[in-house]
Amino acid sequence: MICHQDRWLLLSASLIVLSRLGYAAPASKEPNCEMAVRAGDVAYAKFDNRAAFAEYRQAAQLDSCNYEALWKLARAYIDVGMSLPKKEKPQYYFMAEKTARRCATLHPDSAEGHFFSALAKGRFALFVGGKRKIQIARDVKAEAERALQINPKHYGALHVLARWHYELAGLNFIERAVAKIIFGGLPAGASYEKAARYFEQTIALNPNGPVHRLDYGRTLFKLRRLQEARRQLETCIALPDLFWDDPRNKLEARKLLDKIIDS
């Protein structure tokens, strides 16, 4: 009679023999984090934001510390949020920031967590008033600058800093008055001129991104550099779509271009 221990010894020996004969056990069909991330990447490349979101969320559930799963889930929250009705957007941007912050905390020397934290905060700031907006603005700038410290060629972080200058330069009188009361003034140095310089650096690193051309064109329009703005907007419209929202970006470029032509 073979005892329990002997059975395990025989089983182990059999597996060794089978492995030497080239036998491989069937791959596990259980989902894992890496598989979910790759599936999310496929959906993202097809501009299927909801499918990508579902895959990245599963990946983060399977491994809540995984760097790639976390920053891509933060990006997915932003992408889905941008496509939702206005009243539903803030909660997705809030969750994006929460996820990106966790990523940046767990992986402080990796750029994407800091970048998407900045991007999510910036999106959320569009839905709050002057006092809260200025509070968030300081965090946006700090996170974008941290991403650039880690990766000086991170064109996304450069774009965020450009938008930071653009948005703060455009605050109205009441918002500026609130900033003066609470903070003694706006964060130093915000201007359309600096926004333009950051957009120039962004485009030098990524010349084929329609959104960079659109936002640079908007900034040049504010500076009344209309011929330059027109060239950027025309380039925006002519470029191939790189991201799911590029058709929307090109529509905005067309509207502003028409305004320039009619002026």
Per-residue pLDDT tens digits for 29-87: 567 999 999 999 999 999 999 999 999 999 999 999 999 999 999 999 999 999 999 99
What pTM did the predictor assign? 0.82
Q: What's the start-to-end Cα distance of the chain, in Å?
A: 98
Cα angle 258, 238, 168; round to 5: 60
Q: Which tens digit of pLDDT belongs to each residue from 120-137?
A: 999 998 888 766 777 788
Residues with Cβ within 8 Å of 118's Cβ and at least 6 positions away in sequence, in order, are 139, 140, 141, 142, 143, 144, 147, 157, 160
Q: Specify whether 198 is located in the same domain as 230.
A: no
Q: Is residue 25 part of a domain?
A: no
Q: Specify whether 254 is located in the same domain as 193.
A: no
Q: Specify whether 196 is located in the same domain as 218.
A: no
Nearest Cα neighbor of 49 from 74, 72, 76, 73 is: 76
Which amino acid makes up residue 84? L
Q: Which tokens hold the place of 14?
A: 């059999």
User: Which CATH number does the domain housing residue 36 bear?
Assistant: 1.25.40.10
Instruction: Put residue 151 in one of left, alpha, beta given phi > 0 → left and psi -120 to 50 → alpha.
Output: beta
- Number of domains making up the chain: 3
